[in-house]
Chain A
Amino acid sequence: MLNMMRLDWLGMRKYRSRLIIAVITACMFGGLFGAWMILPYLVFGMFDASLYCFDAEEKGELNRLYLTLPISRGTLITARYMLSLILQGIGIVAGVVLTLIFSRILYGRTIINEHTFIPNLGTLAVMTCASLLICAYLSLIMHPILHKFGYAKAKIIGYVLPIVGSSLLVVIFIMTANRIEAVGAVTRSAFLWAYGNPVLFSFIILCVTVLFLTASYALSLKVYAKRDF
């Protein structure tokens, strides 16, 4: 599996510079809108970067190479998920460090739409788990489709639509919460509860994350095992 991860990483070499772009963009967002944005954005950026292996594989028709190597299709999928999780892990570490640095620098200053904050262990844990949950949710709707059809065929339904659609859902939810008092009240109380119970909230999110990831992995294994090349 490690060999396959290395090969996937080697395959996406020309995309690696985009990891730096993800870090820079996260810092820009943090500076403009608040340090709290850095961690989720960076974790998402790393998850997004892990999807470059699909593009790389398609362009070099690397599937044909991979399937002639002495590894099973299951190993290939496992390696791909591990690589994605490792990149997300790097995103978490870098995100926490940058969040702490930015919140210290920006604390007390007015930025575009709010004052920044000094995070504590609880909020960092919640943000980390929430970031992982977003990635796991996206993994659930992206990975199986990309594994089934490949990046070229499934770019729209397996990559663009999930990201745009999910963003739209969030916007719709925020608008609904702002306009409909009852929804707003429930949302606020949910946030307050999460703020008051960070450990329990993180644990719940983590459980859902694991559930999503397991489902995504199982589906990917199933569809990739049946795919003809």
Chain B
Amino acid sequence: MGNAIEIRNLCKEYPGFALKDVSFNVPSGLCCGFVGPNGAGKTTTLKAMLGMVHKNGGEIRLLGKADGDVTAKEDIGVMFDQPYFQEDWTPLDIEKGIKPFYRGWDGGQYRKYLTQFGLDPKKKFKDFSRGMKMKLSFAVHLSHGSKLLILDEPTSGLDPVARDEMLDIMREHLVEEDRTILFSTHITSDLERIADMIVYISGGSISFSGDKDELVSRHCVVRGGRLPEEKRRHAIGIREYKDGYECLMETDNIGGLPPDAVTERATIGDVVVYMERRSRYA
């Protein structure tokens, strides 16, 4: 299985912020969640991948093609937190404008998606709800046979029903072989449901890149009355209260905890929150 995304030592400097040697791979056929707090560098990384910002260093390969090779974009679908179409365009206009750029455009498929998603082909873009706009964007990118979907917070601001529908669409897209999704999100429950792997970015650097289950099974949340001094160094993002504490801990380190300590399986959300807490309050 080859890599759909290969990023090596990506650097990008802005005044007051920098991406520092960002490196990760996403194998073909997987759904990868790209997580991190606001301002961690998620969108900058995605933009650098798409050539929307110029990198200061590093190498990016998408679907085996080097950056700068625009033909790779034939097989890439991109969605930002909101679709960028002209307000007065209808889905039919969008097809008219976008179709000529993609050899693999399937008009029948596009109409099928419009029907499936309940989108009126003659309704103006500005008259669609946010959820409908996102579905329309999906319809566009699924209709040119994208092998790689790069999504920047596609579910943010959507109600739970619309979010669920988005995840279903993504799941269906992944059914075919060699389809890959990289999506950045703050909504970690979405990742629990769909992601195969996680790339976690914090302060412009990659803190974790690997299997989702490995990330969660490697950590647990610990709560208790008092954490012994020798265990404190293993505590990640400890939060102390008047009558106790809670923290994240690697499962390898939980042996020897006092009897009142309670451990429970960590979620992706827990890992993100505690790791970020550690980096901020270290």
Residues of A at the B interface (CB closer than 8 Å) are 2-3, 6-7, 10-11, 13-14, 56, 59-65, 67-72, 226, 228-229
Once the chains bind, are A14 and B88 in contact (CB under 8 Å)?
Answer: yes
How far, in whole Å, are A129 and B159 apart by their CA atoms in the complex?
A: 59
Once the chains bind, are B54 and A67 in contact (CB under 8 Å)?
Answer: no
How far, in whole Å, are A7 and B101 apart by their CA atoms in the complex?
A: 10
Q: For A72, list chain B residues within 8 Å (CB).
A: 70
Please give the distance in Å from A36's CB to the nearest CB on chain B.
Answer: 38
How far, in whole Å, are A2 and B47 apart by their CA atoms in the complex?
A: 26
Q: For B97, list chain A residues within 8 Å (CB).
A: 6-7, 10-11
Please give the distance in Å from A134's CB to the nearest CB on chain B.
Answer: 30
**Which of B50, B86, B93 is in CB contact (< 8 Å) with A68?**
B50
List B residues 53-103 near A (Cβ within 8 Å): 53-54, 70-74, 76, 78, 80, 84-89, 93, 96-98, 100-102
How far, in whole Å, are A179 and B88 apart by their CA atoms in the complex?
A: 52
Contacts A/B (CB < 8 Å), 29 sampled: A3-B100, A6-B97, A6-B100, A7-B97, A7-B98, A7-B101, A10-B93, A10-B97, A11-B97, A13-B86, A13-B88, A13-B93, A60-B84, A62-B85, A62-B86, A63-B84, A64-B84, A65-B84, A67-B52, A68-B73, A68-B76, A69-B98, A69-B101, A70-B71, A70-B72, A71-B70, A228-B52, A228-B53, A229-B52
How far, in whole Å, are A62 and B100 apart by their CA atoms in the complex?
A: 17
Please give the distance in Å from A170's CB to the nearest CB on chain B.
Answer: 36
How far, in whole Å, are A5 and B6 apart by their CA atoms in the complex?
A: 33
Once the chains bind, are B52 and A60 in contact (CB under 8 Å)?
Answer: no
Q: Please, how many residues of chain B have a CB less than 8 angstroms from a CB on the other chain?
A: 27
Q: For A11, list chain B residues within 8 Å (CB).
A: 86, 97
Interface flags, B17-55, vs A, CB<8A=1, else 0: 000000000000000000000000000000100111110
Name B144's closest neighbour in chain A (CB-CB): A70
Name A14's closest neighbour in chain B (CB-CB): B88
Name B93's closest neighbour in chain A (CB-CB): A10
Once the chains bind, are B101 and A10 in contact (CB under 8 Å)?
Answer: no
List B residues 86-129 near A (Cβ within 8 Å): 86-89, 93, 96-98, 100-102
Q: For B74, list chain A residues within 8 Å (CB).
A: 70
Once the chains bind, are B51 and A10 in contact (CB under 8 Å)?
Answer: no
Q: For B85, list chain A residues within 8 Å (CB).
A: 60, 62, 65
How far, in whole Å, are A47 and B71 apart by their CA atoms in the complex?
A: 32
Q: For B50, list chain A residues within 8 Å (CB).
A: 67-68
Q: For B54, list chain A residues within 8 Å (CB).
A: 226, 228
Name B52's closest neighbour in chain A (CB-CB): A229
Name A62's closest neighbour in chain B (CB-CB): B84
**Which of A2, A3, A67 is in CB contact (< 8 Å) with B51?**
A67
**Which of B76, B89, B102 is in CB contact (< 8 Å) with A10?**
B89
Name B87's closest neighbour in chain A (CB-CB): A60
